[in-house]
Amino acid sequence: GESVGLHLPTLSVQEGDNSIINCAYSNSASDYFIWYKQESGKGPQFIIDIRSNMDKRQGQRVTVLLNKTVKHLSLQIAATQPGDSAVYFCAERGITGGGNKLTFGTGTQLKVEL
Amino acid sequence: DTAVSQTPKYLVTQMGNDKSIKCEQNLGHDTMYWYKQDSKKFLKIMFSYNNKELIINETVPNRFSPKSPDKAHLNLHINSLELGDSAVYFCASSPDRAREKLFFGSGTQLSVL
C-alpha cells in the first residue's frame, strides 16, 4: 500500500506485504533527509537517512528513495511485520545560523494487520 | 542504560504554574535539542544548544527558558503555563552541531488544566 505523509493518514497493510510511505518536502536546498519511526509512548527512533547526492539507499528491510526533481521522498518496508506498526516521519535538514535543524513532516501511521 | 533520559515522563499541572523538565544524555554528544510534539503528532524544534551555547532559538514564547549547566544536560523551564502548552516535549542529542542524526528521549507529556 501507499500513502502521502503530510496529513497523518493511516496506511494499513497485511503482515508480509511491502509498505510504501511517501513524503513531500518543501525546501529544494535541503541536502539531507532522514526517516524516523515513533512507537506509541516513545520518542522517534532513527531508521535510515539519505543525502541529496544519492537517489536510493538501502538498509535492513528498508529502502529510501529520493526524487529531487519533484521533492519527494519515500520509505519502503519489505515484508512488513507487526513490530513495524508506528508513526513514520520524514525530516529534511536546513542549516540555520550554524545550527543543525531538522524540519519534520506530519507523519504517517502504519498499521500492520495480521 | 538509557542514552537520552527525560524526567518526568508525565506532568499534570494547573494554568499559571511554573514547571521544569530535565534532560540528560550519556552519549558524550555536544549538541542537545528540545522539540515539541502537538496533538496531531507534529514535531517542531524549539531550542538547540551546542556545548552549553544556545545555537537555535525558534519562535518560542519567552516563558520557555532552556538551561544547559553542562553539555550532558539541557533542562526546560516553563513559566506561567497556558492551556496551549499541553503537548509532548522531546529532548534529543546529536554528536555535534553538524551531525544530523538525532537521538531522542522518550518524551514528557505535559497536560495543563
pLDDT at residue B57 in the model: 84
Q: Which of A62-76, A99-113, B69-83 has the lowest mean pLDDT?
A: A99-113
pLDDT beyond 90 at A109: yes
Q: What is the pLDDT of residue A97?
A: 54
pLDDT for position A4: 39
* Residue listed under C-alpha cell 535541503: A30
Q: Name the residue facing B104 among A43, A49, A106 (closest C-beta).
A: A43
Best of A21, A34, A89, A102 to mutate (most B CBs within 10 Å, chain B): A102
Q: Determine how many CB atoms are found less than 10 A away from the CB of residue A84.
A: 19
In whole angstroms, give the CA distance from residue B68 to residue A8. Answer: 33
Mean pLDDT of chain A: 88
- Which H or E run includes B90? strand B87-94
Q: Which of B90, B97, B101 is opposite residue A46, by nearest beta carbon?
A: B101
CB contact under 8 A, B42 and A104: yes
pLDDT in tens, chain B (113 residues): 669 999 999 999 999 999 999 999 999 999 999 999 998 899 999 998 988 888 888 878 999 999 999 999 999 999 999 999 999 999 999 987 676 789 999 999 999 99
Q: What is the pLDDT of residue A6?
A: 45
Please give the residue of chain B at the shortest CA–CA distance from A49: B101
- The rounded distance, in Å, linking the Cα atoms of B74 and B29 is 12
Pair A67, A77: CB distance under 8 Å: no
At B106 the three-state DSSP class reads coil
**Residue type present at position B107:** G
Residue A7 confidence (pLDDT): 54
Among the partner-chain residues B56, B105, B107, the one whose CB lies closest to the CB of A101 is B56
Q: Over the stretch A9-65, which tens digit does the pLDDT of each residue have?
A: 899 999 999 999 999 988 888 889 999 999 999 999 999 999 999 999 999 999 999
CA-nearest of B85, B74, B76 to B12 is B85
Residue A97 touches chain B, beta carbons under 8 Å: yes
A84 by DSSP, 3-state: which?
A: helix
- Please tell me if residue A40 touches chain B, with a CB cutoff of 8 Å: no
At A22, the amino acid letter reads N
Element (H, E) at B41: none
pLDDT value at residue A106:
83
Task: Please check whether residue A31 is in contact with residue A49, taking contact to mean a CB–CB distance below 8 angstroms.
Answer: no
Where residue A76 falls among pLDDT bands split at 50, 70, 90? very high
DSSP label of B96: S
